[in-house]
Structure 1
Amino acid sequence: MARTSRHEKKKTFSNIGETTPVPEHPSLEEVYEETPFSEAFWTYLNYVMLNIFGWFRDLLRNARIENRKGSAENNPTGFVPLYQSYESFYTRNVYQRISDCFNRPIGSVPGGKLDVLERVTDDYNWSFQFTGNKITSINLGSYNYLGFANNSGHIAENVINTIKTGGIATASTTQEFGTLMQHRKLESLLAEFLGTEDAIAFGMGFATNALNIPSLVGKGCLILSDELNHTSLVLGSRLSGATIKVYKHNDMIHLEKLLRDAIVSGQPRTHRPWRKILMIVEGVYSMEGSLCKLPELIELKKKYKAYLYLDEAHSIGAMGSRGRGVVDYWKCDFKDVDVLMGTFTKSFAAAGGYIAGNKDLINHIRTTSHGTAYATSMSPPVVEQITSVLHLLLDDNEEHEGHRRISQLAWNTRYFRQRLTKMGFIVYGHPHSPVVPALLYSPSKIAAFNREMLKRGVAVVTVGFPATPLVLGRVRFCLSASHTKEMLDEVLKHAEEVGDLLNMRKSKLNPKRPFHQTEF
């Protein structure tokens, strides 16, 4: 791609001159390739063998022929077991064997690169001892989308100065003495950034969903939830007491059918009209890398007089030409989304979450939410981190840091996805999503890919059942503006090597072939 002169002197990112803006009218479709029969067969066979040998070894353990290598619950006589035997089957026979791939301790800032602390075990992964060595690796596992997770620079200095003047905690709830001028400033900037009348911030992203959905809907209300919604949304929906109906992921036909049936039939038994109908969706789905079909959702919302709750945890800052999330990406009106929710834990490299919308909505949440009445408000240094990032993102000047980071992330995403796809990997998600899942299928490959990539200096997250469907185990790459083109090329080189080693390059839509730089 041709370089533009205004970017030639920028030093923040090595390949920023090669970036291009996000398309004004996105039209690319998500493609989900069918699982190859051979992979499905071997994956199911692996789990069958796992169960057979797992139960056989459990029999040997119960007969004291084999020593138990994990923790065991010794229940007193007459007490009900805390854990059923089958519930811990996965822990005993799978997790304990591959737990070296999870919960790895990190000894550095989670930027484009990080230091993984090396550890060894002599009790079958039940406990670990640190060797003192560090493995410097390219970081493809953190949600550091815009690369603000730094411990140096002007934002870090602002945060440190705030600790000196405002302390490290409010030690009170929002409704008591936990609301500072910094909180009001943050909420004002957030409303300006999102184009809403008002906003409110909370100290925990998970709790933003779990504690606030119950203040919006209750008994006599209907929630229509995407089947892949995050656990925080599921918990909040259940706590509300509202009736919940789940529709197939991103299936607007199924969603409209549920809406139509709800309008026609009303509530069960009484057939009275529902007090409210709330559709709950995510902007970017963190395991699939897919985007919600926002224009169609807004059309359905208006047609059936329903409300729309949009969780932008993984899309705020990471999607759209101005970083305003999927509403910005799809060029929709922010006022068409009734409840805009998001978190500060990803693109803002901080903690907490927010809800934005009209003043009546936000005032209602301020007075009725458990999150404002009982939870400690956001600490001042965290507020300063978010405020400093917001100032950068509100600046639409293409020469300045905020816009350059957004453009860098968009370029990195397209480049990495296209190259991975051309290599023959089966890749899920939207072409512009910074969450890039590549299918591994077999449980043995899940651990092997993780370990082999770390040997080559690449830290990745691999995920399998029960977090994914049985035959859809995967590696989930998370891209960041802090990644340079050289870093991505190195990751892709190692991914190609390990992909061949584990026979992962199975795509029939994109058969593996050499990639030439002139193609991008």
Structure 2
Amino acid sequence: MVRLSMLASSSSKLSHATLVHRYPPSKLHSEEEMSDTVFSSDENEMNYKRENVTHKDDENLQCEEFEETPLYAAILTYLSYAILCLFGWLRDFLRNSNIEKKRGAVDPNAALGFVPLYQSYESFYTRNMYTRVRDIFNRPIASVPGAQFELTERISDDYNWTYRYTGKTINAINLGSYNYLGFAEKSGPCATDAINALKTYGVSSCNTRIELGTQRYHVELEQLLANFLHVESSIAFGMGFATNALNIPAVASKGDLILSDEMNHISLILGMRLSGASYQTFAHNDMKDLEAKLRAAIVHGHPRTQRPWKKIIIVVEGVYSMEGSICRLPELIALKKKYKAYLYMDEAHSVGAMGKNGRGIMDYFGIDANDVDILMGTFTKSFGSAGGYIAGKKSLIDHIRVNSHANTYASSMSAPVVQQIISSLQLLKRPEGQKRICQLADNTRYFRQKLVDMGFIVYGNKNSPVVPMLIYMPARVTRFNREMLRRGIAVVTVGFPATKLLDARVRFCISAAHTRQMLDTALMAIDEIGTDISLRYSTRHQSRRLREL
């Protein structure tokens, strides 16, 4: 799939009916002329914030928190990595000199004649840092990833290079899975409908959508989704990652400029690279930096030819999966209208989870869906299924149907997978679905506020179901993960290189299926472990024990 997408022909461009060049070359002769025709006075430059951002929007935008890393935590974190590197290099030297006989940090497969997978520092990091704590990552499960689930118990006899399974399972509260609305269930109306679809249609049509793969249920899903999002049309794909990676090349190509938030997901970054378009990053959620780059792009054009860009596309996420923050959508829309750019928004973590009707960030801010040119989302987070979608104007979707490699070469979505999404969407329109949306919002605010009140550093928006709590030091990341599991709570911890060196964290994902008792159990464990290993770093909030709140 990826190889084919890199061989895209010149036909893989947006049709003129969809995204066309909005700056005719004849009208962009000089920077002075540009300043006269496009840029307004300093007073008018900021009007978009006053005119397009309401008081309610201001409240939604300002309820985010990103506390700076305490100096002592930064020093200890750098020191931790320095010590790990120092001892790693020393042990590598001793092993290479045949002085050290323990081979725990050496890949046992290397002796079997396998070609090394890593080179240089990657290999060093894997041997001396990652493998030491590999047991806290990629844990297999043995049940549906609901609010509680079964983890498969495993042990290692060769320092985490390989594992063997004991046949036992560990029952744990699940605070790591994307199950925002609680549709990851093995029973209930959605599961029943999916089973019936399997019996009726089988597993798959084993064909692509443009040949014989399009079935009635695919059409029903796309129509239902378009109605749910209040857009003209939509198209569904079998893989969420590929929805970004293989569709951005269908809407951007050589001669285009993509302005990407620096915290965007790797699937978006891969799509930009495959598209052949030029791309630049702007500071996370920094509208001043974005506006400066928009102005520079319009004034100066392509850096080599100085010709105007064919089009400029701003790429953002609705909810950022690692930061827990939300995009500043009202200001983004105002900027894209002011500078005649296009907006591509990834709602993988926000559709279903944000807004009073679950329609994502547009619903959260009360914004017309037609103000966003390209809407992307996935079905894995809120709908308990698989796949992704692109939604927008009919002309855009018609173009993608023909030019997207994700639609042209990939097998169509399986019937039970599609039916799970259809049933979930239909349920959201009913009182039960609205109850799930409200329950998720209540759980999110309760859990996040308790962490803040206990003195932990928590990133993101108070309404985001992604709740990152900063841990910083690698040894404490490992200890926190293992201690939480020992208390029957499964969490996802993330560190370098998935985050910056100083930003190691635990990422809690809150679900509507979590009961207040489950959240209190988790908070009690976090309180105990946070005290034992000193995780209360916040200087903005007083450190208090849970029993004091």
TM-score (structure 2 length as normaliser): 0.87
Q: State the secondary structure of the residue aligned to 1:257.
A: helix
Please report the RMSD computed on the Cα atoms of aligned residues, expressed in angstroms: 1.8
The amino acid that maps onto 1:71 is: D
Q: Name the residue aligned to 1:7.
A: none
Stretch deviating more after TM superposition (230-239 or 161-170): 161-170
Partner of 1:154: 189
| 1:329 equivalenced with 2:364 (yes/no) | yes
C-alpha contact (below 8 Å) 1:170/1:377 kept by paired residues: yes
2:463 counterpart of 1:463: no
Q: Are the equivalent residues in 1 in contact too, given 2:523–2:546 (CA < 8 A)?
A: no
Q: 1:405 to 1:80 in 2, by over 3 A?
A: closer
Q: Deviation per CA, 1:188-241, whole angstroms, max 9, x where unpaired?
A: 000000000000000000000000000101000000000110000000000000
Residue 203 (str. 1) matches residue 234 (str. 2): no
Aligned length: 491
Asked if residue 30 in structure 1 is aligned to residue 61 in structure 2, the reply is: no
Residue aligned with 1:253, SS: helix
Alignment partner for residue 71 of structure 1, among 91, 99, 107? 107
Which amino acid letter does the alignment assign opposite residue 158 of structure 2? Answer: D
Secondary structure at the aligned position of 1:64 is classed as coil
Are 1:235 and 2:264 an aligned pair?
no
Unmatched runs of 5 consecutive residues or more in structure 1: 1-22
Q: Per residue, is there more helix in 1 or in 2?
A: 2
> What is the letter of the counterpart of residue 57 of structure 1?
R
Matching residue of 2:78 = 44
Map residues 263-342 of structure 1 onto 2, 5 A cutoff: 263-342=298-377
**Which residue matches 1:4?**
none
Residue type of the partner of 2:300?
Answer: S
Report if the CA contact (8 A) 1:111-1:482 is conserved: yes
Q: 339, 364, 381: which one pairs with 2:399?
A: 364
User: How big is the shift at 1:508?
Assistant: 1.1
The separation in 1 between residues aligned to 2:87 and 2:96, in whole angstroms, is 14
Farther-moved stretch of structure 1 (27-36 vs 148-157): 27-36
- What residue in structure 1 maps to residue 542 of structure 2? 511
Report the AA paired with residue 64 of structure 1. Answer: N
**Aligned counterpart for 2:132 among listed residues 92, 97, 122:** 97
The answer to whether the 8 Å contact 1:28/1:431 transfers is: no
The structural deviation recorded for 1:515 is: 5.2
**In structure 2, distance between residues paired with 1:402 and 1:74:** 53
- Pairwise CA distance, 1:55: 0.7
Q: CA deviation at 1:94?
A: 1.3
Q: Offset of 1:95 from its aligned partner?
A: 1.3
Match of 1:214 in 2: 249
Aligned residue for 2:417?
Answer: 382
CA distance in 1, matches of 2:291, 2:62: 23
Counterpart CA distance in 1 for 2:83 and 2:127 is: 15
On the 8 A contact 1:75/1:81 being kept in 2, the answer is no
8 Å Cα contact 1:423/1:512 also seen in 2: yes
Deviation at 1:270, TM superposition (A): 2.1
Q: Within 2, Cα distance between the matches of 1:516 and 1:451?
A: 23
Gaps of 5+ in 2: 1-55
Matches within 5 A, 1:157-168: 157-168=192-203
Q: Which moved more, 1:124-133 or 1:320-329?
A: 124-133
Identical amino acids, percent of aligned pairs: 60
What do the CA deviations read for 1:11-49 (whole angstroms, capped 9, x no partner)?
xxxxxxxxxxxx896354312111111111110000111
Q: What is residue 257 of structure 1 aligned with on the other side?
A: 292
Question: CA 1:504/1:172 → structure 2, altered by over 3 Å: closer, same or farther?
Answer: same
> 1:64: Cα distance to partner?
2.6
For the Cα contact (< 8 Å) 2:313–2:344, is it kept in 1? Answer: yes
Matched with 1:10 is none
Match status 1:248 vs 2:279: no
Give the distance between the partners of 1:376 and 1:407, measured in 2 at CA: 36
1:282-341 CA distance string (max 9 Å, x none): 000010000000000000000000000000000000000100001110111100000000
Q: Which amino acid aligns with 2:512?
A: A
Q: Secondary structure at the match of 1:46?
A: helix
How many Å separate the matches in 1 of 2:385 and 2:355? 20
Aligned to 1:423: 454
Which AA in structure 1 matches 2:491?
A: V
Residues of 2 paired with 1:489 and 1:82: CA distance?
Answer: 43
Partners of 2:147 and 2:173 within 8 A in 1? yes
If the length of structure 1 is used for normalisation, what is the TM-score? 0.92
Cα gap change, 1:80 to 1:148, in 2 (>3 Å): closer
* 1:172 corresponds to: 207
